[in-house]
C-alpha cells in the first residue's frame, strides 16, 4: 500500500512535465498571434515597437528555447506574466484557485450526496414512482446545460423569490476576512464572523447546487445499477437472515459494496466539475479559475492559458491518485504492492 502510493508519487513529476509540455505545445500551434494581445492595433505597423515587445516577452526566441526557459522558470514557481493583468500568472492563480476549489468541492459534496441517495432510493424502490421520480430528477441535472440551469435558478431564487443572494462570492459591500485558506466559508469562520460566514454560504449554495446537480445524474445512475446488482447478492439474504433491518441491509451491507465503483466515478467527476466550473463561474460572476481561463482564452493571454492548463492538469492528476487510493482502502480485495 505505502509502496504503491510512493510509486505513484514518484511518477507524478513526469506526468506533470507531460502536462506542461502538452500545454506549451498546444498553445504554440494555435493560429492566434499573441502580439495582438500585447501591442495595440495602431502600433502593429511600427517595427520598433513590435520588435521591442517580442524581445520583452521572449517571442523572438525559438520554440525549444522558450520551452526550456519556461520549464526553468516554472521550477522556481514562476509561470510568467499575464499579458492582460500584467501580474504574475502564479499570483493570479493563487488568488483565483481557492474560489474555484471552494465551489467545486461544495458541488462535489452536494452532487455525491444527491447522486448516492437518489441512486439508492431508485434501486431499493425500483420500478415504483420513487424510482421514476429520482431518475427524471437526475436526468434533468445531467442533461440541462449548467449555464441555462444557472440562469434559470438565479432568476427564480434570487430575482423572483429573493430567498438567495445574487451572483458573486459574498456581499459586495462586505469587508473581506483576512485570507488564510482563500475559502471564504472557512476564512470567515476563522475570523469569527458568523454572519459573514452565512453570507458566503448562501452565495455558495446556488452555483454549487447547479454544478452538483449536473454530476448527481451520472452518480445516481451508476449507484442505482450497482445497488440493483448488489441487492440481489446472497450476502444481502444473509444479512436479512441474521435479523438485520432493511435500513441496515441497505446502508451497512449494500451501500458499502457499491462505494467501490462509486468512489471512482465521484473522483473522476472532479474533472467534469472543473470544466463545468468555467461556465458556472461566468454565470455567477465567481472570481475563480474558470472565469480567468475564459478571459485568458479570449485575450490570447498565452502565459495565463498555459498556467491554467497546468494547474487544471495537476489537480486532475492529484484527484486521480486520491481516487485510486480511496479505491484500495474501500476494497479489501485489491492488494497493491
Q: Which residues bind other proteins (CB under 8 A)?
A: 233-235, 237-245, 252-253, 256-257, 259-260, 330-333
The beta-carbon contacts of 167-172 under 8 Å, at least 24 apart in sequence, are: 167/283, 167/284, 167/285, 167/286, 168/203, 168/284, 168/285, 168/286, 169/99, 169/200, 169/203, 169/204, 169/286, 169/287, 170/196, 170/199, 170/200, 170/203, 171/199, 171/203
Q: Nearest distance from residue 259's CB to other proteins, in Å?
A: 8
Q: Nearest distance from residue 130's CB to other proteins, in Å?
A: 14
Residue whose CB is less far from other proteins, 54 or 248: 248
Q: Nearest distance from residue 330's CB to other proteins, in Å?
A: 7
Residue whose CB is less far from other proteins, 74 or 259: 259
| Cell numbers at 284, concatenated | 455567477
The beta-carbon contacts of 63-70 under 8 Å, at least 24 apart in sequence, are: 63/28, 66/28, 67/21, 67/24, 70/20, 70/24, 70/306
Residue whose CB is less far from other proteins, 113 or 329: 329
Residue whose CB is less far from other proteins, 56 or 252: 252
Number of H helices, E strands in the chain: 14, 0
Residue whose CB is less far from other proteins, 238 or 285: 238
Q: Nearest distance from residue 328's CB to other proteins, in Å?
A: 12
Q: Nearest distance from residue 241's CB to other proteins, in Å?
A: 4
Amino acid at each position: 500500500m505505502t509502496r504503491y502510493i510512493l510509486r505513484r508519487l514518484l511518477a507524478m513529476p513526469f506526468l506533470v512535465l507531460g502536462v506542461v509540455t502538452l500545454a506549451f505545445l498546444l498553445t504554440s500551434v494555435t493560429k492566434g498571434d499573441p502580439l495582438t494581445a500585447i501591442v495595440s492595433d495602431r502600433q502593429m505597423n511600427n517595427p520598433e515597437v513590435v520588435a521591442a515587445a517580442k524581445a520583452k516577452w521572449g517571442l523572438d526566441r525559438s520554440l525549444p528555447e522558450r520551452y526550456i526557459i519556461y520549464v526553468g522558470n516554472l521550477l522556481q514557481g514562476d509561470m510568467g506574466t499575464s499579458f492582460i493583468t500584467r501580474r504574475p500568472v502564479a499570483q493570479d492563480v493563487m488568488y483565483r484557485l481557492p474560489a474555484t476549489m471552494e465551489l467545486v468541492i461544495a458541488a462535489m459534496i452536494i452532487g455525491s450526496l444527491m447522486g448516492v441517495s437518489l441512486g439508492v432510493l431508485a434501486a431499493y424502490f425500483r420500478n415504483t414512482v420513487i424510482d421514476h421520480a429520482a431518475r427524471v430528477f437526475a436526468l434533468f441535472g445531467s442533461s440541462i446545460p449548467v449555464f441555462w440551469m444557472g440562469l434559470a435558478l438565479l432568476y427564480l431564487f434570487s430575482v423572483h423569490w429573493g430567498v438567495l443572494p445574487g451572483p458573486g462570492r459574498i456581499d459586495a459591500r462586505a469587508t473581506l476576512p483576512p485570507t488564510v485558506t482563500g475559502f471564504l466559508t472557512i476564512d470567515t469562520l476563522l475570523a469569527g464572523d458568523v454572519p459573514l460566514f452565512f453570507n458566503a454560504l448562501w452565495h455558495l449554495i446556488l452555483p454549487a447546487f447547479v454544478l452538483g446537480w449536473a454530476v448527481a445524474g451520472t452518480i445516481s445512475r451508476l449507484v442505482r445499477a450497482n445497488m440493483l446488482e448488489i441487492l440481489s447478492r446472497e450476502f444481502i439474504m444473509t444479512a436479512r437472515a441474521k435479523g438485520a433491518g432493511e435500513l441496515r441491509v441497505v446502508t451497512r451491507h449494500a451501500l458499502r459494496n457499491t462505494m467501490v465503483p462509486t468512489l471512482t466515478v465521484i473522483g473522476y467527476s472532479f474533472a467534469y466539475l472543473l470544466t463545468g466550473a468555467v461556465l458556472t463561474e461566468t454565470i455567477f460572476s465567481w472570481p475563480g479559475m474558470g472565469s480567468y481561463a475564459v478571459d485568458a482564452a479570449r485575450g490570447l493571454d498565452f502565459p495565463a492559458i498555459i498556467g491554467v492548463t497546468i494547474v487544471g492538469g495537476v489537480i486532475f492528476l492529484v484527484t486521480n491518485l486520491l481516487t485510486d487510493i480511496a479505491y484500495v482502502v474501500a476494497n479489501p480485495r485489491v492488494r497493491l504492492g
